[in-house]
Structure 1
Amino acid sequence: MYTPPAFRQDDPAWWRQFIRATRLCTLVTATAEGLEATPLPMILDAPEGGEATLLGHLSRANDQWKRPPVGEALAIFTGPDAYVTPSWYPSKQETGKVVPTWNYQAVHVHGEATFFDDPDGLRAAVTRLTDLHEAERAEAGMETWRVSDAPEPFVAAQLRGVVGVRLRITRVDAKSKMSQNRSADDQAGVVAGLSESPRPGDQMVAAIVAGLGKS
C-alpha cells in the first residue's frame, strides 16, 4: 500500500486498535490458480514481545484453503471513508489550485497463512470469536449467545463444516488519509461539509478530521 509520510501510521498501538475495532477483513492469497479473497472476521493476538497473529475460520466448501498460498497472504482491514470535494476548501477561492480526493483509513497485514482443521483448535477459535463479539452485547445489557448454548452434536457438526486460518504477521502497512496535508482552514471546511452529510461514514470521517492535532 502506498503510504506517504503524512498519512503513515507507524505506532503499533494505532493499527492494533484499528484491527480490533474494524474486525472484518478481506483475506487475500495468491495461488497457482490465481488470487483468492474471502471476507471474514479475524482476531488479533499481539502479546507484548511475542509473535503477532490473526486467527479466524472459513467455510470448508471455500476453495481458498484447499489451494496452497504462494508467498505471503494479505489481510485488508478498511475503516471509514468519504469523498472530499474541493468546494469545501477556503483555498479554492484563494488559488483555485485544488482537486477532489478521498479520505480513508486502511491497514494491510502481510504474513504467512496456515489452515487447520483439528477439532480442538477449531472449537477454541470459534469460541473465542463468538465470545469477543457477544461481549459487546453483554456490556449493553442485551441477551447473549455462547457456543455451549447449542446442543453438542449440532456444534460438532457445524465445526466439521469450517476450516481455521492463522496468519503469522510479518509486516503491517497502516494508513490514515484524513486531510493531514491540508491547512487548518481547509480541514475545518472538510469537517463542516462532511458534517452536513446524512451518510454515517461521512460523519465518522468528519469526527476524525476534527480531532487532528487534539491528541
Structure 2
Amino acid sequence: MYTPRHFAMPPELQRRLLAAPGAGDLITHGPSGLLATHLPYFFDDTMGEHGSVLLHVARPNQQWRETVEGEALFIITAASDYISSLWYPSAESSGKYVPTWDYVTLHIYGRLIAHDDVAWTTMAAQRLMGLHESRVGLADMPEDYLGGQLRAIVGLQLEVTRMEAKAKLSQNRTPLDVQGVIEGLQQAGADELAGLVEQYALPAAQRRADLIADVAARHRPGRTIGTATPR
C-alpha cells in the first residue's frame, strides 16, 4: 500500500483499531483465482508471533476449501469519507478547489488456517459474540439449534506475518484547513472520522506549519546561514 510518511499510522492508533472488533474483507488467491468475503473479525495478539485475526465463514463458501497461494490479505477500513475542498479556507483565496478522500485502513497479511473443528469454532464464535453482546451468549441457545449453527460454519485464523497501516487524515493541509475538515465532517455526520482528524491530523498539521515557519525565519532575506569565520 502506498503510504507517504506523513500518512503513516501512529502505533497507538493501530493498536486501537486492532482492539476494536468489526468487519473487514478477506482476500485470497488460489486455483479459482481471486476470492473475497466480507467477514466479522477480532484480533488475538497471543496467537502467533504477530497475533492472529479470527474469522468464520459459511461452510458452502469455497474460499476456506481452496489452497491459498502465498499470503492471504485482510483489509479493515475503520473510517472513510469524502473531503470537500469547500471546507478549506485556503481554497477561497487560491482557487484550488481539489477535493479528496480521507480514511483509516489496515492491510493485514498472513497465513490462512482453516479450523473445521467444532471446538475451535465454538471458541471463536463465543469470543466474538461476547465482544458485542452483554446479555446473551451461546449458552442461552437450545443445544440442538446451537450445534446445527456451529456445524454450518468453519473457523478461520489469519496468522499475521506483516501489517501495513495508513491514516490519511489531511495531515498535509494547513491547521486552518484541517479545522475546516473537522467542522465539515461534523456537519456531514461523520463524527468518527472527524474525531480522528482532530486527534491525529490537527497536531501534525500544526507541527508541520511550525517547522515551515521556523525554516522560513532561518532563511529570511538578508540573513546568511553558515558563513565561515574569516581567517
TM over 0.5: yes
Q: Does 1:132 align with 2:120?
A: no
Judged with a 3 Å threshold, the aligned counterparts in structure 2 of structure 1 residues 49 and 129 are, in CA distance, closer, same or farther, namely: closer
Match of 2:149 among 152, 158, 177: 158
The superposition leaves residues 104-134 of structure 1 with CA deviations (integer Å, 9 ceiling, x where unpaired) of 1111100000111112111111111111211
Structure 1 pair 22–55 and aligned structure 2 pair: CA distance change class (3 A): closer
Q: CA deviation at 1:63?
A: 1.0
- CA separation of 1:46/1:21 partners in 2, compared to 1, >3 Å: closer, same or farther? same
Partner of 1:141: none
- Residue pairs, 1:120-199, within 5 angstroms: 120-134=119-133, 138=134, 144-197=135-188, 199=189
Query: For the residues of structure 2 that align with 1:77 and 1:10, how far apart are their CA atoms?
Result: 16
Q: Deviation per CA, 1:169-189: give whole Å up to 9, x if none.
A: 011111111110001011111
Query: Secondary structure at the residue paired with 1:42?
Result: strand
- Unaligned 5+ segments in structure 1 are 139-143
CA distance in 1, matches of 2:84, 2:194: 13
Amino acid at match of 2:192: M
What is the Cα deviation at residue 102 of structure 1? 0.5
Query: Relative CO higher for 1 or 2, CA cutoff 8 Å, sep ≥ 6?
Result: 1
1:98 shift after superposition: 4.7
Aligned to 1:206: 194
Is the contact between residue 77 and residue 106 of structure 1 (CA under 8 Å) also seen in structure 2? Answer: yes
- 1:4 pairs with 2:30: no
Over 3 Å counting, the alpha-carbon distance change for 1:171 and 1:49 in structure 2 is closer
Corresponding residue number in structure 1 for 2:218: none
Partner Cα distance (1:3, 1:169) in 2: 20
Q: CA deviation at 1:74?
A: 0.6
- Structure 2's unaligned 5+ residue stretches are 205-231
Runs (4 or more) in structure 1 with deviation over 4 Å come to none
For residues 143 and 151 of structure 2, the distance between their equivalents in structure 1, rounded to whole angstroms, comes to 13
Give, in whole Å, the separation in 1 of the partners of 2:21 and 2:171: 22
Aligned counterparts, 1:54-65, within 5 A: 54-65=53-64
- Which residue pairs with 1:96 in the alignment? 95
* SS of residue in 2 equivalent to 1:68: coil
Q: For residues 34 and 48 of structure 1, what CA distance do their matches in structure 2 show? A: 28
Q: How does 1:7-22 map to 2 (within 5 A)?
A: 7-9=7-9, 11=11, 13-22=12-21
Q: How many residues were matched structurally?
A: 203
| SS of aligned partner of 2:34 | strand
Distance in 1 separating the partners of 2:56 and 2:98:
42
Q: Name which one, 1 or 2, has greater alpha-carbon Rg.
A: 2
Letter in 2 for 1:9: M
Using structure 2 for the length normalisation, give the TM-score: 0.81
CA contact (8 A) 2:23 2:41 kept: yes
Aligned to 1:82: 81
SS in 1 for 2:20: helix
Aligned 8 A contact 2:47 2:159 in 1: no
Aligned partner of 1:17: which letter? R
Rounded Cα–Cα distance in structure 1 between residues aligned with 2:83 and 2:167: 15
* Helix, strand or coil at the partner of 1:6: helix
Report what 2:210 is aligned to: none
TM-score, normalization: structure 1?
0.87
